[in-house]
Amino acid sequence: MKRFIAGLTLVLLFTLLLVTWTAPAMADIRISVNKSLPVAMAGAIDSSSAADFESDGKDVVRFGESATIPRDKVVGSLVVFGGDATVDGTVGEAVVVFGGNATIAGTVGRDVVVFGGNVELKPTAHIKKDLVNFGGKVKREEGARVDGSEVFGPKFVPGFRIPDWFSSWFWFFQGTVVLIGLMALGALSVALLPNETTRLASTVAAEPWKSLGVGVLAVLAIPFVLLALLITLIGIPIIPFFILALPIIFLYSYIGAGRLIGQKIIELINGTADVPILSVVVGILVLGLVGFVPVLGDIIKVAAVLVGLGAVLTTKFGTGRPWRRSKVQPEAGANQDQTADA
């Protein structure tokens, strides 16, 4: 029962952290989603405003990178987390940007909503609904059109504006919060699952190349697993849970690798015995700081996840139990005794 409660607590915390965590290893993901999601996020209520706007393109969602809609391109909605959005073509639905700037030179069928960034409207810009900006500045060139209202800052506080420096320092604050959250989550994981996390670190230390190979193979197998679930009627309901479990497993793998890195650093500096909670905090902190190094930092963090993933799979999530139970064979001596008695 204790293990079940500990596991459930970690799963909930992992899921909560994923709301704000954008992994550099997944920065190139482009997701096609249902149009109702970005429309709801943008606060669009009236669906008739886009009824006369023909959009044959798909929705575009970007995490941790910028997005540009070319002049001859037509998309549904455009949602960008942690990057800039540039619209030279046509967006049939809404444009939503979190922690980045928006440059509009084309047509937007609904609202343009920007949190923590600036908005620049070119002379050819045409926004058919509202323009909403929180925590940034709006530069509007002559000729730009906004058919709806323009809202700057929360309506419930007249004249309120988030400071201009918020946009520049947004990623620093977000990165700091995520790093602290990862360290706290790592410490909690070690406290609740001390044996499991210790076994993960020991496995990575003893068999680093094997762990890396298993982790790489596991990642390569993910599309095939999804395909297998998709083509079977029984497996289709499992797909959402499988997709939700993936980032949770990746985070657990990251914590396992951080546990070993912190342990080695403490041993190198002080030569003291392993202190599990301190080790995982130091390891995750080092990985987070290394992540600020362009390219190399991302490579190191991806390698840490892959090595940790291999250890997670080879140790069955740190339990050390085999994935398949072998049948217990009776000892030869016992068989002989039974024959003699007969």
Contact between residue 98 and residue 171 where contact means Cβ atoms under 8 Å apart: no
Is residue 261 predicted with pLDDT exceeding 70? yes
Long-range pairs, 7-13, Cβ under 8 A, ≥24: 7/193, 9/188, 9/192, 10/185, 10/188, 10/189, 10/192, 10/193, 10/252, 11/248, 13/185, 13/188
The one-character DSSP state at 319 is T
Is residue 258 predicted with pLDDT exceeding 60? yes
Contact between residue 265 and residue 275 where contact means Cβ atoms under 8 Å apart: no
Residue 275 or 287, more confident: 287
Contacts of 152 (CB under 8 A, 6+ apart): 132, 133, 134, 138, 161
* Distance from C-alpha of 291 to C-alpha of 178, rounded to nearest angstrom: 12
Average pLDDT over residues 262-266: 87
Whole-number mean pLDDT of the chain?
Answer: 75
Predicted pLDDT at 56: 55
pLDDT tens digits, 143-179 = 899 998 887 654 434 444 455 555 556 666 767 788 8
Contact between residue 106 and residue 128 where contact means Cβ atoms under 8 Å apart: no
Q: Is the pTM of this model over 0.85?
A: no
Least confident span in 165-174, 213-222, 332-341: 332-341
Predicted pLDDT at 263: 87
Predicted pLDDT at 104: 94
Contact between residue 230 and residue 341 where contact means Cβ atoms under 8 Å apart: no
Contact between residue 280 and residue 184 where contact means Cβ atoms under 8 Å apart: no
Average pLDDT over residues 228-248: 84
Three-state SS string over 228-290 comes to HHHHCCCCHHHHHHHHHHHHHHHHHHHHHHHHHHHHHHHHHHHCCCCCHHHHHHHHHHHHHHH
pLDDT tens digits, 48-87 = 333 333 445 678 888 778 899 998 888 888 888 878 999 9
Tokens 């790093």 correspond to what residue?
Answer: 179
Helix, strand, coil content of the chain in percent (nearest 5): 50, 15, 35
Average pLDDT over residues 316-332: 69
Predicted pLDDT at 57: 67
Q: Are strands 95-98 and 112-115 parallel, antiparallel or unpaired?
A: parallel
Estimate the crossing angle of helix 194-206 against helix 296-314, to 10 degrees: 110
CA neighbor of 248 nearest in space, from 10, 4, 29: 10
What count of other Cβ atoms lies within 10 Å of the Cβ of residue 153? 16
CA neighbor of 255 nearest in space, from 313, 205, 184: 184
Predicted pLDDT at 102: 93
Contact between residue 309 and residue 203 where contact means Cβ atoms under 8 Å apart: no
pLDDT tens digits, 91-121 = 988 898 887 899 999 999 988 888 778 899 9
Is residue 8 predicted with pLDDT exceeding 60? no
Residue 8 or 126, more confident: 126
Is residue 27 predicted with pLDDT exceeding 90? no
Average pLDDT over residues 269-289: 82
pLDDT tens digits, 308-323 = 999 999 998 888 888 7
Predicted pLDDT at 40: 37
* Distance from C-alpha of 181 to C-alpha of 21, rounded to nearest angstrom: 9
Residue 108's SS3 state is: strand
Burial class (CB in 10 A: 0-12, 13-18, 19+), 156: exposed
